[in-house]
Amino acid sequence: MLDRTFALIDRLVAARPRSIVVVVVLLTLAAATTAPRLRFDSSFDRFLIPDSPDLAAYHDFADRFGNDRVLVVGIDCDDPLAPATVAELRQVVAGLEAIEGVERVYSLVSAPMVRGNGDTVRLAPPVDGPPPTGAAAAALLARLDADPVYADRLVSRDHRLLGLLATLDPPPEETEAYRRITAAARAVLAPLGDRAHLSGEPVIESEMNRFMRRDLETFIPITLTLTAATLLLLFRTPLGVLLPMAAIVASTAWALAIFLLSGRTVNNVSSMIPPLIMVIAASDAIHLFSHYRSHAHLLGRAQAITETVRRIGPGCLMTSLTTAAGFASLTASPIPALDDFGRFSALGVLFSFFLTIFALPAALHLLPVPAAPRTAVQRDVWIRTLAHRLAAAPRWILTASLTIFIVSVVLIPQIRVETNDLTYFKEGSAIRTDTVLLQHHLGGVRPLDLVLTGEPGAFTDPERLARLAHFGDWVRTVEGIDGATSAADLLTALFARLDGRPVGDHTRPAIAQGYLFFELSEEGSDELARYLSGDRAIAHIALQEGESRTSAMKVQIDQIRARVARDFPELSLEVTGYAHFYMQISDLIVTSQVRSLAIALVSVTAMMILLFRSWRTGLLSMVPNIVPLTCTFGLMGAAGIALNSATAMVASVALGLAVDDTIHLLNHLQH
């Protein structure tokens, strides 16, 4: 059946070689025109399950309490209240507030802080006029250090770093708003030089997008250059370089064109598609050209092409189908980013096969016959010597392989599931250094949000608000949580100025009056609305997450859930926010990869059995495919390499590549 199919393909190619080459060139040029559509997006949206309850809950949270994404800025200073420092701070605040999409900037000169005492209590920035000096300055810094809302947020504990928090509310239709806002913020901070530090979830996303773009722009040319150099070393002829390179470029361009035309954006998973397709396309093209060149000088061009297509075609078809099936198994993942990776990688594999079987033979019909390889005899002698030595030691080879396999299986349980997005950036990079600095001195840079829901008026009860205040005190002691703010903290700051009594010592009418104090001013009303619903039934506790490791975040959230269940049994809890999704994404990717890998192994094994028409051969063929996977994970366990959103893709890639060698060897063995 396959022989007749490839004989038909050979006749079709021989009859229309120019037409096939022209069509391929035109399609590749058309694919290249889609390059301006390339967009990068490392946000969590493509890693979340659409219409999931968690995502719906986050949208409800954002609609009720506003966008929780913030830019965190730190400015080095010798004296935070020096006139020159305050003037400089006002300029930065004005510059940030002028950026479209920046909702509000909290700082020493702009945050609505409770000021005054008794009848003179009002909302005003800590510095709302000329900066205080002497004892007044020391008293203000002491109040800031103890303030329940702004402690360690506007000024670091050592008073050497000014903090600014810019809340964001970009236009929903602008797809790259956070990248634009980050770039504009950097421009505002540029005059400060190294004294300015910028981080926050939007900044980390933007930097990751920039790094992905830079990596693609850097490594694709490097990959092409190294591939061309390797081809030249193997074949020592321009034709042996140009034909495989043409197949590599065309198959990659076609797959990326469909990827972009379908409206996809590049993320840290889909960015691996181009180099992966390049490797697979190079493998098929090398097999075809190597076989053709070794026969062309003996059989002539036409007969050598026919013989090559007949001998190489079935193997390339089998490798393409099994590799595509392995990648296509990722479409079973509910995560859109993994679905995209599997879908378009599989498509690129099929494009590579089409070009190898149709376009390359068509080009060979139009090109002169290459000279016989001068090093063929020497290479054959070397390969035969190696083959004889391997055949003479099967027991040693099998024993060594089994030993390595067993050791790897033992090491696999040492792998930890851990994602830390800071490790995606090199040590010493500005984003990594700034993030660590701001986490250490100004609290966390990622939002983690808690939503407590009760009956209408639930949070006018003094006793419940007292519990909420105590919960805030406790949660600030959780390792990695660097700050917490709730409506109870707003009232605590107010009552401390009014009468010095804690919030729990007040009556419901007094609590209502406290809320009214904030609602009577525009700034205070907006501030209260960030932490409490209008019917006083739903409270938002904003946590500043200072942890970058998902395993630590999981421990934190488990502790918080247990504490809330104990302290607020009458309320329901919803954990949401970027940090929560960041932790969830790590677990989702790993579990999806495990499931997809199981599907791939079963489907590839079934295809191998069908292709070789022997269940024994099919099962045997999977041994050299499973052992490398096991060894890879064993090495990860031994080296302490975490299983995360990037390394979780190793299994699918390794299986897709390993099965190709197995099929080619067994196919030749059958012949």
d(CA 331, CA 325): 10
For residue 35, the one-letter residue type is: A
Kindly list the distances between the CA atom of residue 385 and the CA atoms of 234, 380, 392, 475, 662, in Å, as whole numbers in the listed order. 19, 8, 11, 69, 21
How high is the pLDDT of residue 61? 85
- Angle, helices 336-354 vs 301-328, to 10°: value is 170
Kindly list the distances between the CA atom of residue 564 and the CA atoms of 279, 455, 558, 641, in Å, as whole numbers in the listed order. 52, 17, 10, 34
Predicted TM-score (pTM) of this structure: 0.77
Closest residue by Cα to residue 646 from 465, 437, 418, 492: 418
How high is the pLDDT of residue 1? 62
Q: What is the DSSP string of 398-455?
A: HHHHHHHHHHHHHHGGG--B--BGGGGS-TT-HHHHHHHHHHHHH--SEEEEEEEE-S
- Asked whether residue 463 carries a pLDDT value surpassing 60, the answer given is yes
A 10 A CB-CB count for 398 gives 10
Using H for helix, E for strand and C for coil, what is the string for 568-609? CCCCEEEEECHHHHHHHHHHHHHHHHHHHHHHHHHHHHHHHH
- The average confidence (pLDDT) of the chain is 85
How high is the pLDDT of residue 43? 66
pLDDT tens, 544-567? 887 777 778 888 889 999 999 999
Residue 353 tokens, joined: 């096969």
Greater pLDDT, 343 or 644: 343
Q: Looking at 173-182, 197-206, 257-266, 358-367, which range is the least confident one? A: 173-182
Q: Looking at 36-50, 115-129, 632-646, which range is the least confident one? A: 36-50
Residue 425 tokens, joined: 């950036």
Helices (H), 300-375: 301-328, 336-354, 360-366
d(CA 458, CA 533): 11
- Asked whether residue 571 carries a pLDDT value surpassing 60, the answer given is yes
Closest residue by Cα to residue 373 from 232, 237, 242, 230: 237
Quote the DSSP letter at residue 125.
Answer: -
1 by Cβ neighbours in 10 Å (0-12 / 13-18 / 19+) ranks as exposed
Domain residue extents for the chain: 2-45+206-419+584-670, 70-199, 430-548
- Asked whether residue 57 carries a pLDDT value surpassing 90, the answer given is no
- Asked whether residue 54 carries a pLDDT value surpassing 80, the answer given is no
Greater pLDDT, 50 or 504: 504
Quote the DSSP letter at residue 368.
Answer: P
Q: What is the DSSP string of 655-666?
A: HHHHHHHHHHHH
d(CA 473, CA 465): 12
Gyration radius of the chain's alpha carbons: 32
Phi, psi angles (nearest 5°) of residue 168: -120, 145
CATH code of the region 2-45+206-419+584-670: 1.20.1640.10
Q: Hey, which residues does 198 pair with through a beta bridge?
A: 73
pLDDT tens, 323-382? 887 788 777 777 777 788 888 888 998 999 999 999 999 999 988 877 666 555 556 677
How high is the pLDDT of residue 374? 59
- Residues 240-262: b if buried by 16+ CB within 10 A, e if exposed: bbebbbbbbbbbbbbbbbbbbee
Q: Please answer whether residues 313 and 23 qualify as being in contact, where contact means their C-beta atoms are separated by less than 8 angstroms.
A: no
Does residue 611 come out as left (phi exceeding 0), alpha (psi in the -120 to 50 range) or beta? alpha
Range 67-90 average pLDDT: 91
DSSP 3-state assignment of 298?
Answer: helix
* Helix (H), strand (E) at residue 649: none
Range 629-655 average pLDDT: 78
Closest residue by Cα to residue 550 from 577, 582, 589: 582
